[in-house]
Amino acid sequence: MTRVAIIDYGMGNLRSVAKAIEHVAPEAEVIVSSDARVVAGADRVVFPGQGAMPDCMRELDARDLRGAVLDAAANKPFLGICIGLQMLFQHSQEGDVPGLGVLAGDVKRFVDPRDPVSGARLKVPHMGWNGVKQTRAHPMWDGIANDERFYFVHSYFVQPVDAALTAGETSYGAAFTSAIARDNIFAVQFHPEKSAHAGLRLLANFIGWMP
């Protein structure tokens, strides 16, 4: 039986993510946990999220989870969602805090985004459904149409140093990285657990993905 650990750092839609994975993989054991030993013993790890980067990093250390997250990101299939994408990078403008530094790059705030056609100011946070352009092939995109729409809620976005990390882009005033992939890591800015059929397909792909 595949054991999937969903990291509980005190915030985020943990139960929604767990229920979505249980739906697509009823044969899997899905555990929501803040215990580093449980995370270490899992076959696959999901870091979901909502909330602010300073809170995320503080709670990771308060719960002694930093080492378990770094180990999972280095050694087993790892899915980051929203903050779970952002915290992989080196630094965030949100609270001017360092991330885990697994990937080179920064987390930036949307600054006065505007509709490229009308010039109208776009709201921040970026909230609602938007398309994701798949910038390269990846097993996690299997069965998901290019430009498929997913659900977003965020004011910050990642800016990788290495453009080859980007697996998906979304337009909000300008194009930004909405999915990254490297080795055993796949992470997205959108919320698959809130993204209907396409989101469920992405989660199902994660359960079957063999990096």
Catalytically annotated residues: 82, 191, 193
Q: Is the dihedral of CA 103, 105, 109, 114 positive or negative?
A: negative
Measured between alpha carbons, how far is 208 from 21 in angstroms, rounded to an integer? Answer: 12
Angle between helices 196-208 and 14-24 (to 10 degrees): 70
CA–CA–CA angle 112, 116, 118 (5° rounding): 95
The conformational region for residue 183 under phi > 0 = left, psi -120 to 50 = alpha, else beta, is left
Measured between alpha carbons, how far is 118 from 49 in angstroms, rounded to an integer? Answer: 33
